[in-house]
A and B are shown apart, each in its own frame.
Chain A
Amino acid sequence: MKTLVSLIGGIAAALVAASASAVITLGASVQLSGPLANTGRYYRDGYEMAIDTINKAGGVKVGGKSEQLELKILDNQSDNNLAVRQYVQLVTQDKISLLLGPFASDAVIATSSVAEKYQVPMVQGGGASDQIYSRGYKYIFGTLPAATKYFESTIEAMGKLNPAPKTVALLYADDAFDVSVAKGTRDLIKAAGLTTALDERYSTNASDFASLLARIKSANVDAVLVAGHETEILNFIRQAKSLSVSPKIYSFTVGVPSADFRKALGKDADFAFGMTSWLPTATLTDQWFGNAEKFEQAYKARFGYEPDYHAASAVADVEAYAKAIEAAGSTDPQKVRDAVAKLNFDSLYGPIKFDEKGQISLPQTVIQVQDGKVVPIYGGKGFIEKPRYPMPAWDKR
Chain B
Amino acid sequence: MNRFGVVAIVVVVLALLATVPWIASPSIIQFGISTLLMAVLAQSWNIIGGYTGYASFGNSVFYGLGSYGVAIAMVQWNLPFGVGLAFGAVLALLFALLIGLPVLRLRGHYFAICTLALAEVMTAIVSNLEIAGRNTGLVLPLLRGDALFYELSLGLLALTTLTVAYIARSRFGFGLIAIRENEEAAAVMGVDTTRYKVAAFAISGFFTSLAGGIHAYWITFLDPVSAFDITLNVKMIIMAVFGGPGSIFGPVVGAFLLSAISEVLSTKISTLASLFFGFVIIVAVVFMPRGLADLGRRFRSVGWRYFAENVRRNRL
Contacts and interface: CB of A to CB of B under 8 A. Distances in A.
Q: Do chains A and B touch in the complex (CB under 8 A)?
A: yes
A5 B137 contact: no
B34 A5 contact: no
A161 B119 CA distance: 48
A287 interface: no
A11 B135 contact: no
Contacts of A75: 266, 270-271, 273
Given A7-B260, A11-B260, A80-B226, A175 B136 contact: yes
Interface stretch (A57-65, A88-96, A229-237, A303-311): A88-96
B103 interface: no
B139 interface: yes
B137 A74 contact: no
Given A11-B260, A81-B226, A135-B139, A113 B220 contact: yes
Nearest to A2: B9
B270 A113 contact: no
Interface in B25-70: 25-28, 30-31, 34
Interface residues of B, number: 37
A175 B135 contact: yes
B274 interface: yes
Contacts of B137: 106, 109, 176
Interface in B178-212: none
Given A5-B13, A11-B264, A82-B266, A33 B127 contact: no
Contacts of B219: 81, 84, 110, 113
A88 B30 contact: yes
B253 A92 contact: no
B7 interface: no
A324 B124 CA distance: 44
A117 B27 CA distance: 13
Nearest to A16: B25
Contacts of A116: 142
A74 B136 contact: no
Interface string B107-134: 0000000000000000010010000001
A203 B224 CA distance: 12
A14 B9 CA distance: 25
A1 interface: yes
Interface SS of chain A: helix, strand, loop or mixed? helix
Contacts of A117: 142, 144
A92 B26 contact: yes
Interface string A175-200: 11001000000000000000000000
A174 B27 contact: no
Contact of B136 (A33, A79, A88, A176): A176
B257 interface: yes
Given A75-B271, A82-B266, A84-B219, A92 B27 contact: yes
Which of B13, B27, B134, B139 has the most chain A CB atoms closer than 10 A to its own CB? B27
A85 interface: yes
B28 A15 contact: yes
Contacts of A5: 13, 16
A212 B223 CA distance: 25
A106 B135 CA distance: 10
B124 A109 contact: no
Contact of B267 (A89, A106, A175): A89
Contacts of A301: none
B316 interface: no
Interface of B: 9, 13, 16, 24-28, 30-31, 34, 124, 127, 134-137, 139, 142, 144, 219-221, 223, 226, 253, 256-257, 260, 263-264, 266-267, 270-271, 273-274
21 contacts: A4-B256, A8-B256, A11-B31, A15-B25, A75-B266, A75-B270, A77-B271, A79-B226, A81-B226, A86-B267, A89-B27, A91-B26, A92-B25, A93-B25, A106-B136, A113-B142, A131-B139, A174-B134, A174-B135, A176-B136, A203-B135
Given A15-B27, A77-B266, 17 more contacts: A7-B257, A11-B264, A12-B24, A15-B28, A32-B271, A75-B273, A84-B221, A85-B34, A88-B26, A109-B221, A113-B219, A113-B221, A116-B142, A117-B144, A174-B135, A174-B136, A179-B134
Closest 7 CB pairs of A and B: A92-B26, A174-B135, A93-B27, A75-B270, A110-B221, A92-B27, A176-B136
